[in-house]
A and B are shown apart, each in its own frame.
Chain A
Amino acid sequence: MGQSVHPGSVAVLVVEDDALLRAEAVDLCIEAGFQTYEARDADQAIRLLERHSEIRVLFTDIEMRGQMDGLKLAHAVRERWPPVSIMVTSGRRKVTKKDLPENGLFFAKPYPPDDIVNALNGIAAQIAS
């Protein structure tokens, strides 16, 4: 796990059940300078959020095994941790603003890596200001 070099020590939580895609997403976030946690499902994600209050961004896939999919997770996180910014991705579903918590962002798979990096930087800047 790389060290965060970003002001404010904003940490990102990547939730993705495909190990290959998760590995790449994690590397992308680390490369952009964020401290990064990873989870393969919603249960793991919530356990990490409970333990690491520095997590300020949830970047989650929608389709996952388990009781809770990415959208439910996003809403649950907004409920319990309102300051956490929400980023959602899916290769299957067309997600609209209505489906997401307020100010949530959606990225269709496969996404351009730069879009993710730009979004993360925007969130970090907002938190810093």
Chain B
Amino acid sequence: MTLHAELGDVGGTAPLRMADLFRLRDWGTTPLGKRDTWPAVLRTTIDLMLASLHPMCLLWGPGRIFLYNDGYAEILGARHPSALGLPTEDVWPELWDDLAPLIGRTFGGESFAFRDQPLTMTRNGFAEQVWYDFAYSPVRDENGTVVALLNVTSESTARVTAQRERDRATGWLRSSEGRLAALVEASSDSLYSMSPDWQEMRSLQGRGFIANADAPTERWMDVYLFPEDQDEVRGKIETAIARTEPFEMEHRVRLADGTAGWIFSRAVPVRNETGQVTEWFGMAADVTTRYRAVEQLRESEAFMRGVLAASNDCIKVLDLDAKLTFMSEGGRRVMEVSDFNAVAGCPWPEFWEGVGHVAAKEAVASARAGVAAAFQGYADTMKGNRRYWDVQVSPILGADGKPERILSISRDITALKAAEEARAVLAQELAHRMKNSLAMVQAIVTQTLRQSKSMEEGRTAVSQRLSALGRAQDILTRSDFTEADIHEVVAAAIEPHRIAEDRISWSGPPLTLSSQQALGLSLAIHELATNAAKYGALSNETGRVAMSWHVVDGGFRFDWIESGGPPVAPPGARGFGSKLIERIVASYFEGEGILDFDAAGVRFRLTGAAGAAVGDDKGLSH
């Protein structure tokens, strides 16, 4: 009977169970002999084995006959079912050398266990790696003699796989930790660990730039922070603790050498498996150099801003299209710009009017071509106040040496311009006055000479009259040639004729005379005094001259009264002196002059309008 015939009897394609194989096998042809001849211990052990779900095999007798159950059939793979009843040596020829001693010792009464033995199995249609535990134990007969070896196995693939997974994960974790440690070691950043409430610093590796904290300390704030910075840092820490968010801050610290430095510090909360924060772990980078550079830049910028703000020049930066991109604070002040946004981007030449507009456009074109230019012109401030500016326009060169932007500096020279214009006006005015004076001199000279009896008389009269004119001019010079006080005019005019302190007197209120009035009154006093010295009150030892003037209701009156002189006789012919006194001077006062040759003394009365406004110099009224 062949095995296949047996299979056909069972029917279907279902695998034969080991119990069937045992039953169908013709044991009589094997060393075990017929089943009913088997000893009780063999039968009992086989029954136990076939009933068990654990893979088991039994090695019987000195022949080590190989018997096994369903579970073990899977381990045998292709060796099943032919392995049943073969000597073990033939079932596992490749392992026999290793197994034989162990098997022998088991038959000697020892037990062995082997964990996680690898096997390749094809139980699911493909080769797969599995692991089994084996336990060898001796099987004894009723006499206590070892007659067989029972190998009880169990699959440990799941455990081994899990273990391997664990091992792999642990290995990865270990290498990952190693890399992290290397990274931390390679970094120059300081590392620190804080208690959950930050009261205690557990450790700090200063990395040279700040001091180490090797033992936990609660004084860390005083060690690392300056007193004035502590509140701010504490505030940030409290916020981070309250929100359990990373702490992040750039702040000042005390460096290892005691000086101030800056760190960028960042710490994260570390939680345990229940989610509780157990520590804060942080890193701090030394940013002192960067901070100082930034601070220096900031200082330098603030300095430049201060310089720009302090200047009253209007300093502007234009783009190459002449649009305003910057205006200094001082510039906004002088240009009366309250909001730079209102003018930002505006084309700068549009601020100029007339020739200034053309000049501004030309200056921009020149600067764009790399050549500085300058011009002057009128432009209104933003509040509409007209100003005259001195403007410098120059290119701002980029790194490539080409004009990148345009610098325009305008200085308000309105006052200077006005002074210049005033000076020009004054120069013109002086030229006019000079010509006017020369015309007066010419008139005085020709009038004098016309009526002189001799060259000698003419020479004396001309020089005296011109010096009287000169003295009056001295007074006018002090007031820009426009006006003079009557006291000064009278004193200066009479000065050359004063022979004794008490013989000539004058009185009257302060009064401002126009330049023509001052010159005219000077000439009149000079004529009167000259006449008095020749024929009148000043020609003897006792005569007196009293001058007085009054202003009543805007009317002016000047009196010259001689007394104590020799008896007066009217002159035969009226000369230029009389004409000057009576007509010319009176004309300057818009009034009249009356010369009275009273026998008791010469009297002169000039009446007219008072004040510089009357008879104001014609030169200035035009």
Residues of A within 8 A of B (CB): 17-21, 23-24, 27-28, 31, 40, 63-65, 69, 91-92, 108-110, 113
Q: Is the CB of B450 within 8 A of A27?
A: yes
- Could you show 21 A-B contacts with beta carbons less than 8 Å apart? A18-B439, A18-B618, A19-B584, A19-B585, A19-B587, A19-B588, A20-B440, A24-B443, A24-B446, A24-B447, A27-B446, A28-B446, A31-B450, A40-B587, A65-B618, A69-B622, A91-B436, A92-B428, A92-B432, A92-B435, A110-B435
Complex interface residues of chain B between 570 and 599 (CB less than 8 A to chain A): 579-580, 583-588
B153 at the interface (CB under 8 A from A): no
B447 & A92 in contact (Cβ 8 Å cutoff): no
Is B438 positioned at the interface, with any CB of A under 8 Å from its CB? yes
Are B439 and A109 in contact, with the CB atoms below 8 A? Answer: yes
Q: Given the complex, which residues of B lie within 8 Å of A20, measured CB to CB?
A: 440, 443-444, 520, 580, 584
Which B residues are CB-close (under 8 A) to A113?
Answer: 446
Q: Contacts A40-B587, A91-B432, A110-B435 known; A23 to B619 CB distance under 8 Å?
A: no
Q: What 6 A-B pairs have minimum CB-CB distances, sorted nearest first?
A: A19-B587, A91-B435, A24-B443, A19-B584, A110-B439, A92-B432
Among A24, A31, A63, A110, point to the contact of B618 (Cβ < 8 A).
Answer: A63
Let me know if B621 and A23 touch, CB within 8 A: no
- Assess whether B442 is interfacial by the CB under 8 Å rule: yes
User: Separation in Å of the B595 CB from the closest CB of chain A?
Assistant: 16
In the assembled complex, which residues on chain B have CB atoms less than 8 Å from the CB atom of A108?
A: 435
Q: How far is the CB of B611 from chain A (nearest CB, A)?
A: 15
How far, in Å, is B237 (CB) from chain A's closest CB?
87
Q: Is B435's CB under 8 angstroms from A21's CB? A: no
Q: Which of A23, A40, A92 contacts B443 (CB 8 A)?
A: A23
Q: Are A19 and B583 closer than 8 Å at their CB atoms? A: yes
B523 to chain A: closest residue by CB: A20
B516 within 8 A of A: yes
Q: Is the CB of A18 within 8 A of B516?
A: yes
* Number of chain B residues close to chain A: CB under 8 A: 28
- The smallest C-beta distance from B436 to any residue of chain A, in angstroms, reads 5
Q: How far is the CA of A92 from the CA of B619 in the complex (A)?
A: 8
With A92-B435, A109-B435, A110-B435 already in contact, the answer to whether A21 and B440 are too (CB < 8 A) is: yes
Name the CB-closest residue of B to A28. Answer: B446
State in angstroms the CA–CA spacing of A17 and B584 once bound together. Answer: 11
Chain B: minimal CB distance from A2 (Å): 13
Are A23 and B447 closer than 8 Å at their CB atoms? yes
Residues of B within 8 A of A21 (CB): 439-440, 443
Known: A23-B579, A27-B447, A91-B432. A63 touches B439 (CB 8 A): no
In the complex, A23 Cα to B450 Cα: how many Å? 12
> How far apart are the CA atoms of A109 and B440 in the complex, in Å?
10
Q: Give the contacts of B556-579 with A (CB-CB under 8 A).
A: 579
A23-B584, A24-B447, A113-B446 given as contacts; is B439 within 8 A of A91 (CB)?
yes
Residues of B within 8 A of A69 (CB): 622
Q: Tell me whether B619 and A63 are in contact (CB under 8 A).
A: yes
Given contacts A20-B444, A65-B621, A110-B435, 20 further A-B contacts (CB under 8 A): A18-B440, A19-B587, A19-B588, A20-B520, A21-B439, A21-B443, A23-B443, A24-B442, A24-B447, A27-B446, A27-B447, A27-B450, A40-B587, A63-B618, A64-B618, A91-B432, A92-B428, A108-B435, A109-B436, A110-B441
- Smallest distance from the beta carbon of A19 to chain B beta carbons, Å? 4
Q: What does the 1/0 interface line of B220-264 toward A look like (CB < 8 Å)?
A: 000000000000000000000000000000000000000000000
Q: How far is the CA of A18 from the CA of B440 in the complex (A)?
A: 9
B447 adjacent to A17 (CB under 8 Å) = no
Q: Mark B510-545, 1 if CB is under 8 A from A, else 0.
A: 000000100010000000000000000000000000
* Residues on A with beta carbons closer than 8 Å to the beta carbon of B588: 19
* CB nearest neighbor in B for A112: B442
Taking CB atoms, residues of chain B closer than 8 Å to A28 are 446
How far is B619's CA from A68's CA once the two chains are assembled, in angstroms?
A: 15
Using CB atoms, name the residue of chain A closest to B435: A91
Interface centre among B441, B447, B450, B587 (most CB of A within 10 A): B587
Write out the residue numbers on chain B whose beta carbons fall within 8 Å of the beta carbon of A17: 618
Complex interface: chain A residues within 8 A of B586 (CB): 19
Task: Report whether B618 and A23 are in contact in the complex, using a CB–CB cutoff of 8 Å.
Answer: no
User: What is the bound-complex CA distance between A115 and B436, given in angstroms?
Assistant: 18
| Beta-carbon nearest neighbor of A61 in chain B | B618
| Cα–Cα, bound, A2→B588 (Å) | 25
- Residues 294-338 of B, flagged 1 when their CB comes within 8 A of A and 0 if not, give 000000000000000000000000000000000000000000000
